[in-house]
Chains A and B, each alone.
Chain A
Amino acid sequence: MSGVNDFVIRFANVNGTGSASANFLFAKTVFRMGVPVVPKNIFPSNIQGLPTWYEVRVSEKGYLGRRDGIDFMVAINPQSFKKDVASVKSGGFFMYDSTKVLHEEFIRPDIHYIGVPMMEICNQEFTDARQRQLFKNIVYVGALASLLKLDFSVIEQLFAEQFKGKEKLIAPNIKALYLGADFISKNITSYPSFYVERRDLVGDRILVDGNTAAGLGAVYGGASVVSWYPITPSTSLVGAFEDFAKELRVDGETGKNNFSIVQAEDELAAIGMVMGASWNGARSFTATSGPGVSLMNEFLGLAYFSEVPIVLVDVQRAGPSTGMPTRTQQSDILEAAYASHGDTKHVLLFPSTPEECFHFMSEAFDLAEGLQTPVLMMSDLDLGMNDHMSAPFKWDDEKKYQRGKVLNAEELEKVKDWGRYKDVDEDGVPYRTLPGSHPTKGAYFTRGSSHDEYARYTEDSDTYVRIMERLVKKMETAKSKVPAPEIHDGGNAMGILYYGTSAHACEEAKDLLAEAGTKVDSMRIKAFPFNEEVRAFIERHDQVFVVEQNRDAQLRTLLINEMDLNPAKLTRVLHYDGTPISADVVLQGMLSNFKSQSH
């Protein structure tokens, strides 16, 4: 049940009215009060006019996934009143702009109504039309602050930070805040039983979105060439890289950039540029979403076969084709694992938190260059675009970039009989050279056509098979280089397996099950190809629930396909309506599929 520091509030707004920053202000205030917070933006593919929602879960226990059931609705958008009224939990609250009378059809006997004449207040107090609209948002934040006992000094501090350099905006914001708060204290007598109380549960954690984290991770990981094509929900990742690079990567003396970013004409060109730059020895990446990965398939095949390192971030969105561009899913798993025609296979990373977005992104370059193959970081819209409470970013100043097997001029002098695709170390990873290194040694021809160990074109069957088998060996090597799964094994009969943003809901569902008397083990997969620990975990358990945010249980298919597992052991728990998965969904999916009572 909802209580102190444990409730869900949803804001229903009109897109393009400035509500997002007011709603974030609410979430950030809770966070600053030391209370764990989970904000989710549920927005349309639209710039102005359509309904948009912002949901904030406040969780004393620190759960970071969504929770079903809305305790408090801030209903600002008459277009969505019907849906918004219906989605409030019985006994919950519905706050609306009472400048206009609420129509009878929106009245439910089992919920509380709080009318605040937001527009009327703003019309009286502000003259400018845009200000009237913007401050309406702050008026409802003020009303909420009063109803839910937020710390006003924290909000005022946040205003001061937000309007640094534009100080004259601070006073009217504070005025709007107290207009809302005063209305509540003068007119409302029955307050919700749930509210926010200051705690010290946040620690050193940060509140940040995964795209910002990944963009920063790319700066730290040494990326210097970026090419991309705008697509929701990945756009802000490159935007973050650019902002950080302009701040951190401009030469102090010359004013010149130690990076370059090109907005390409399409995704084909974006990944082509990344490949050209990587081939030539710069760390390079692109960010896109499912439709972009479809277009990039051609180059992914070339990179796999000609063994050029590539780093690609897929911030997954919902659906086949254009689908639901502003909704979240984990539905590009199979596409990414086997992208392009012929026999191909790619390294995938599955971050669950912004800290992992940062960390995996910075490591992805070591991995790609170490293996000379594409590495795809599989983020999603929920992780990429929503703010998450996350461990802070960490960096070890002793760390050196691992550039992989690249022979320079001096080394080329010493090597006898160098061949670009010779498996010298028997780990499947050959030695490469960069253009311009040596006047007479190390030049070779990179090609997507079949080639021998010396990069010469060949249609010889034995040679083709030999090269393809070496690529298999390379993927074996990859298993020991990618991040290992996170396993919690208490010797129980059942296990739950998940990856990416399903993690938070799954961890909570696991706790809920344990509270109800059923203990399960868990494994969070962080990468593909799967290593032996993954197999061992599955084989040790009678039943393993595979939780995913797609329709076809794509990771389950990948597990079965790659490890010849018994499919009957792997039970699907799926959620794919485009909203982030909640613990309730995971719990229901598991409860309705328990195979035996042996637990």
Chain B
Amino acid sequence: MSYSKPVFHHPNLTKNALGYTKKDYEGSLSTLCAGCGHDSISAAIVEACFELNIEPHRVAKLSGIGCSSKTPAYFLNNSHGFNSVHGRMPSIATGANLANRDLIYLGVSGDGDTAAIGMGQFCHVIRRNLNMIYVVMNNGCYGLTKGQDSATADKGSIAKAGNMNPFEGIDLCSLAIELGATFVAQSFSGDKSQLIPILQAAMSHKGFALVNVISPCVTFNNNNGSTKSYDYVREHNESMGRIDFVPIGEEITTQYADDEVKEVKFHDGSELLFHKLRKDFDPENKIEVINAIQNARSKNEILTGILYLDRHGVELNDLLNTTAVPLNQLTEKELCPGSSMLDEINQGYR
């Protein structure tokens, strides 16, 4: 069931530049378990969209099947949503984007939906550099079917029932970079201050943006020995440094020394400030990024932050040389060549 939240308008709610309150970005009441990491991510999405002054109805939210895929019901009630079939959200997102390139496509998926049944579509949507935000709510287990290991469960991680996962876990960030993703970030549902600017940057990026969020399952995978528990992730979280997102039109006010901050400008004019913790790390250098991720993995560290960024990638509609007008707005005039052309075509078959 989905439950509507009680409608209560506080007279003094803060409005954003478009005049919307945060309430305008909220959804129905969550039916996930109390303390579920996914709810924190939903809240971060609401916050990010509010602050970015996005018109809610210009977002299309898409998902597959699973706990994570239920969440689009819990944010952006004024956006169209599409809860598709298991592992197939990327193809729905691709078709939707081809039909109307002007909307913001926010895909939400889980580790089962992405790394197991949906692995094929995940890989290919990345290859095509579809202009979308792809959020993985990654908890290493199948919550909705009561806690089986998923394909992102780390080798050696111990499940609630006590069994140890003998198989290699799939690292979605490394894979995405390998496949040509143009924006790859990793975060933790318990770190809102990092997750919100990451989501904002992902929404400003033109191209495929993966946001892999470790999001503990409080019911089935938050035990001792699990590498996706709140405690484990807090202890092993290795942040690449603070990120400030500066929306379009806003000034960067603070001065930084050159070697402390890397400034990155997006197509839409917004900017991103990377506060470097490590001087040897450049998020626009693929080789360095891959090395950093592999190093961290070998030390059981979870790197978080915007790990990789390629601002020069060409998104799918441009790759296909599609017209700037959304295809769903074309009419007979542009679409139908008419009867005299057809007579000419007939002549060719005589």
Interchain CA distance A409-B253 in the complex, whole Å: 41
Q: What residue of chain A has the Cβ atom nearest to residue B80's Cβ? A: A435
Shortest A261–chain B CB gap in Å is 8
Contact with B along A235-272 (1 / 0, CB 8 A): 00000000000001101001111111110111011111
CA distance A270 to B95 in the complex (A): 9
B128 at the A/B interface (Cβ < 8 Å)? Answer: yes
Interface residues on B, range: 35 or more
Q: What B residues does A194 contact at CB under 8 A? A: none
Q: Contact at B60–A219, with CB atoms within 8 Å?
A: no
Nearest CB in chain B: distance from A205 CB, A: 8
Q: B72 contacts which of A254, A283, A445, A456 (Cβ < 8 Å)?
A: A445
Is B328 an interface position by the 8 A CB rule? yes
How far is A279 from B128 in the complex, measured between Cα atoms in Å?
Answer: 21
Nearest-CB distance from A8 to chain B (Å)?
23
Q: Are A457's CB and B124's CB within 8 A?
A: no
Chain A residue with the shortest CB-CB distance to B340? A397
Write the A338-365 contact mask toward B (1 if CB under 8 angstroms, else 0): 0000000000000000000000000000
Answer yes or no: B42 CB below 8 A from chain A CBs. no
* A183-B340 Cα distance, complex, nearest whole Å: 46
Interface string of B288-324 (1 = CB under 8 A from A): 0000000000000000000000000000110011111
Is B85 on the interface with A (CB-CB < 8 A)? yes
When chains A and B are docked, how far (Å) is the Cα of A397 from the Cα of B324?
A: 26
Docked CA distance A475–B337 (Å): 32
* A308: nearest chain-B partner, CB-CB: B82
Min Cβ gap B67→A in Å is: 14
Q: Do the beta carbons of B335 and A227 come within 8 Å of each other?
A: no
Q: What residues of B have a CB within 8 angstroms of the CB of A440 in the complex? A: 57, 78
Q: Are A265 and B335 in contact (CB under 8 A)?
A: no
Is A265 in contact with B121, judged by CB distance below 8 angstroms? yes
| Bound-complex Cα distance A279 to B95 (A) | 9
Contact between chains at A276 and B120 (CB < 8 Å): no
What is the CA–CA distance of A393 and B341 in the complex, to the nearest angstrom?
11
Cα distance A251–B342 in the bound complex, in angstroms: 18
C-alpha spacing A394/B79, complex, angstroms: 42
Contact B82 A446 (CB under 8 A): yes
Complex contact A394–B95 (CB within 8 A): no
Q: Beyond the given A222-B335, A249-B337, A257-B322, please list 20 additional residue pairs across the A-B interface where CB-CB is below 8 A.
A: A222-B330, A254-B323, A258-B335, A272-B88, A273-B91, A275-B91, A275-B92, A276-B97, A277-B99, A283-B335, A298-B85, A302-B84, A395-B336, A397-B338, A439-B56, A440-B78, A443-B57, A447-B83, A448-B84, A457-B1
Which 9 A-B residue pairs are closest in the complex by CB-CB distance?
Answer: A272-B91, A276-B95, A282-B99, A273-B95, A435-B80, A206-B349, A281-B328, A277-B95, A280-B99
Binding site for B on A (CB under 8 A): 204-208, 216, 219-220, 222, 224-225, 227, 248-249, 251, 254-262, 264-266, 268-284, 298-299, 302, 392-397, 400-401, 433-440, 443-449, 456-459
Show the binding face of B for A, using Cβ within 8 Å. Answer: 1-2, 55-58, 60, 62, 72-73, 77-85, 88, 90-100, 102-103, 120-121, 123-124, 128, 316-317, 320-324, 327-328, 330-332, 334-339, 341-342, 345-346, 349-350
